[in-house]
Amino acid sequence: MVFTFLRMSLFQELIIMLMSSVKFLLAIPFAAYQYEFSFWQTFFFSSIGGVSGIIIFAKFSYWIIEQYNTWMSSKQKANSKKGLKRVLAIKKVRKYGLFGIAFLTPIFFSIPIGTFIALRFFPNKKKTLPVLAASVFGWSFVLSVILTTL
């Protein structure tokens, strides 16, 4: 009986960490309501999953960005016009900066997309990844407090 509980708990914790690494906003309500995790369990496992997702997707992002830059350099030689969507995206990134992207990443973007956008415009890994991780910890804390006390 005890071993079944421990295995199920480990399985639930892994599910929350995997969900947090991809779609952070869904993982915390799932942990709080479906698995009835405490505040500390919800905060800890969602934070670990979110930060792990940032690290994993940062590794993939550099490869994707390299491939994209190679592809775009050959394409830009043929067509030197900038697209309207690209110009608008660059203006938004310049307006809100790294902290704006980091603030929006766990909630509105997903971890993979937010990490990719942040590293695309702010490639300094020593600055970008800690800011993204701090955002994950902050959102995890706020959402865990709200959802485990209701």
First to last CA, the chain: 30
DSSP string, 71-120: HHHHHHHH--PPPHHHHHHHHHHHHHHHHHHHHHTTTTS-HHHHHHHHHH
Cα–Cα distance for residue pair 145/150, rounded to 1 Å: 9
Cα–Cα distance for residue pair 48/107, rounded to 1 Å: 16
Q: How many CB atoms lie within 10 A of CB 114?
A: 25
Residue spans per domain, the chain: 2-149
Q: How many CB atoms lie within 10 A of CB 98?
A: 17
- Which residue type sits at 72? M
Say which DSSP state 31 is in: I
Q: pLDDT tens per residue, the chain (150 residues)?
A: 444 444 568 899 999 999 999 999 999 999 999 999 999 999 999 999 999 999 999 998 878 878 877 877 766 655 555 666 667 677 777 788 999 999 999 999 899 999 988 998 898 989 999 999 999 999 999 999 999 987
Write down the pTM of the prediction: 0.81
Cα–Cα distance for residue pair 133/11, rounded to 1 Å: 24
